Structure 1
Amino acid sequence: MDKLRKHIEEITPVSDIEFEYIRTFFTVKKVRKHQFLIQAGDKVSCEYWIANGAFRAFYVDDSGKEHILQFALENSWLSDYNALFHETESNVNVVCMEQAEVLCLSLFAREKLAAELHKMERFFRVKVTTGYTAQQHRIISLLSQNPKQRYEEFENRHPEIIRKIPKKYIAEYLGISRETLSRLYPANRRE
Structure 2
Amino acid sequence: MIPTSVQNHPERNVIRVQLGQNLVLKAMNSGQTAELESRLVILDCQKGDALLTQGVHEMEQYFILDGILKRVVTNHEAKEMILRFSAERDIETSYAAWRLGTPTPYSIVCVTKARVAKLPLPDWVAFLDRHHGLKQTFEYAVMEHMSEIMGHTITLHLLDAQGRFKRFLRKHPELFERIPKKELASYLNLSAETLSRLKQRGKI
Normalising by structure 2, we get a TM-score of 0.79
2: CA distance, partners of 1:129 / 1:89: 19
Deviations 1:64-110 (A, max 9, x none): 32211121211221244454444544452322232221111322122
Closer/same/farther in 2, CA of residues 63 and 14 from structure 1, 3 Å limit: closer
Q: Choose from 47, 61, 66 the match for 1:47.
A: 61
Residues 123, 82 of structure 1: alpha-carbon distance in 2 compared, 3 angstrom cutoff: closer
Whole-angstrom CA distance in 1 between matches of 2:76 and 2:169: 30
TM-score normalised according to structure 1 size: 0.83
* 1:23 paired to 2:37: yes
- Secondary structure, aligned partner of 2:43: strand
Q: 1:41 to 1:121 in 2, by over 3 A?
A: closer
Aligned equivalent of 1:67: 81
Distance 1:152 1:40 in 2: 30
User: Which letter maps to 1:111?
Assistant: V
Cα gap change, 1:145 to 1:45, in 2 (>3 Å): same
- In structure 2, the CA distance between the partners of 1:79 and 1:125, relative to structure 1 (3 Å rule), is closer
1:85–1:107: 8 Å Cα contact kept in structure 2?
no
Q: Summarize the alignment of residues 28-177 of structure 1 with structure 2, pairs less than 5 Å apart.
A: 28-81=42-95, 83-177=97-191
Structure 2: tracts of 5 or more residues without a match: 1-15
Give the direction of change, closer, same or farther, for the CA distance of 1:124–1:181 in structure 2 (3 Å limit): same
Superposition CA RMSD, Å = 2.4
Matched, 1:7 2:19: no
Question: Which residue identity does 2:51 align to in structure 1?
Answer: L
How many residues align? The count is 187
Where structure 1 has 5 or more consecutive residues not aligned to the other structure, the ranges are none
Q: Secondary structure at the match of 2:117?
A: strand
Stretch of structure 1 that moved more, 163-172 or 96-105 = 96-105
* Separation of aligned partners in 2, 1:109 and 1:148: 44
* Alignment CA distance shift 1:22-1:119 (3 Å): farther
Deviations 1:110-163 (A, max 9, x none): 221111112211221221122122122212322321110111110121122211
Inter-partner Cα distance in structure 2 for 1:93 and 1:14: 29
The amino acid of 1:107's aligned partner reads: L
